[in-house]
Homo-oligomer: A and B are copies of this chain.
């Protein structure tokens, strides 16, 4: 591919002039500018982004750390970042892999190596301390779906405890009194917070939640199916299932219906996340909306601002609230 020097030679100008043309800089006459532009077109020249990044120490890329693009949740996240990034004329660099300390560290390292101006990081397993260190090192570092008090201004997160409360309260309002919880067995905070919220609501309403009615499993459809199977084997008694996410909820519904239990007439099910499948499964899933795309966009805006040295009002906080999306998987009892 052509270089700036070649363009300059052909145009009979200096490299500096070509650079000025490309960056819409001053000090170039109209005629020269046009000539250079023509030659650039003709030679199909594309400025080398790496060289430019080196010279300016800005890369015009925002890095994203996600666990797994295949999951709609992360795809929505990436999409939210992409939308804002594109609007600002920057590219996104995706790094990630499976959940896990070493994998997350490596993903972040890669983005550091690329000197991304901004970084939107979804990290569940790294220690607070390490993330604080990173935030202090990289101006444009923003955490998504996690709250660390010391770097509150860099955290865009969902109030999971409120979410847990919300889903339980909604079910209570529908007349339910016998609950089962289908939670995730992954060693991260989210399921814990959600269950805390559920317990808050239940104890406010003087409803008991037997330990036996809580099942942990993989946060996917199979996990949801297995959880229901376990509950039924144990002879658990419930009319409402609170699931950790939509995939588990869908699995739960499937397994209930396979046992000839009608959803929602006999047992109601509520999910969490409102990923795309919630609209597609039957019955359509009532769930909590996790506005991940909006949050990812917000995080990206924030990261880009920080990267430019702009500091948003200190006491602004970026906590988002889940909301109930009513569809067809919950019935009044």
Interface residues of A (CB under 8 A from B): 1, 44, 46-51, 53-54, 59, 61, 68-70, 72, 74-76, 78-79, 82, 86, 91-97, 109-110, 112-115, 137, 221, 250, 276-277, 279-283, 293
Closest CB in chain B relative to A260 CB, distance in Å: 15
Known: A79-B70, A112-B1. A86 touches B97 (CB 8 A): yes
- Report Cα–Cα, A74/B47, bound state, in Å: 28
Q: How many copies does the complex hold?
A: 2
Known: A91-B114, A92-B94. A54 touches B46 (CB 8 A): no
Give the residues in chain B near A46, CB-CB below 8 Å. Answer: 109, 112-113
Give the residues in chain B near A95, CB-CB below 8 Å. Answer: 91
Is the Cβ of B91 less than 8 Å from the Cβ of A50? no
- Report Cα–Cα, A82/B277, bound state, in Å: 23
Contact of A48 among B93, B96, B109, B113 (CB under 8 A): B113
Give the residues in chain B near A72, CB-CB below 8 Å. Answer: 72, 75, 276
Contact of A53 among B1, B47, B50, B221 (CB under 8 A): B50
Give the residues in chain B near A112, CB-CB below 8 Å. Answer: 1, 46
Residue from A44, A82, A96 whose CB has the most chain B CB atoms within 10 Å:
A82
- Report Cα–Cα, A221/B61, bound state, in Å: 33
Nearest CB in chain B to that of A48: its residue: B115
Closest CB in chain B relative to A134 CB, distance in Å: 10
18 CB contacts below 8 A, A to B, read A1-B115, A46-B112, A46-B113, A47-B113, A48-B113, A50-B51, A69-B75, A69-B78, A69-B82, A70-B79, A72-B72, A72-B276, A78-B94, A82-B96, A93-B94, A221-B280, A276-B277, A280-B280
